[in-house]
Amino acid sequence: MYGPAARTSAIRSKADIRLEQWERAAYYPLETFTLRLDNLNSKRLSLRTPLILFGLSLLLVASADECPNLLDSIRSEFQQMNPRVQNIQILDSKRKHSDYWIVARGIVEGSEFKGSFEDELFGVFVVNGRFDSVMTVIDIMPTPRWNDYEMWISGHELTSVTVSGHGATYEDQPLEKTYQEPKN
pLDDT tens, residue by residue, 78-104: 999 999 999 999 999 999 989 999 999
Select from 54, 69, 96 the least CA-distant residue to 15: 69
Q: Name the domain boundary from 23, 44, 63.
A: 63
User: Could you tell me if 28 and 111 lie in one domain?
Assistant: no
Clarify whether residues 54 and 76 are in a common domain. Answer: no
Burial degree of 66 (CB within 10 A; 0-12, 13-18, 19+): middle
Strand-pair partners of 45: 35
Q: Same domain, yes or no, for 4 and 81?
A: no
131 and 85 part of one domain: yes
Q: Which of 46, 63, 80 delimits the end of a domain?
A: 63
Residues 42 and 74 reside in one and the same domain: no
Q: Which of 31, 63, 95 is the last residue of a domain?
A: 63
Q: What is the DSSP letter of 74?
A: H
Contact 43, 11 (CB under 8 A): yes
Say how many C-beta atoms besides its own lie within 10 A of residue 103's C-beta. Answer: 27
Given phi > 0 = left and psi -120 to 50 = alpha, else beta, which region is 115? Answer: left
Q: Please report which confidence band the pLDDT of residue 182 belongs to, taking 50, 70 and 90 as the band edges.
A: confident
Task: Please tell me the distance from the alpha carbon of residue 71 to that of residue 42, in angstroms, as a whole number.
Answer: 22
Range of the domain at 165: 67-180
Query: Tell me: the pLDDT tens digits for 144-157?
Result: 999 999 999 999 99
Query: Does the structure show a pLDDT above 70 at 58?
Result: no
Do residues 28 and 98 both lie within one domain? Answer: no
pLDDT tens-digit readout, 109-130 = 987 898 999 999 999 999 999 9
Q: Are residues 71 and 89 in the same domain?
A: yes
Residues 95, 172 within the same domain:
yes
pTM tops 0.85? no
Q: How many residues does the chain have?
A: 184
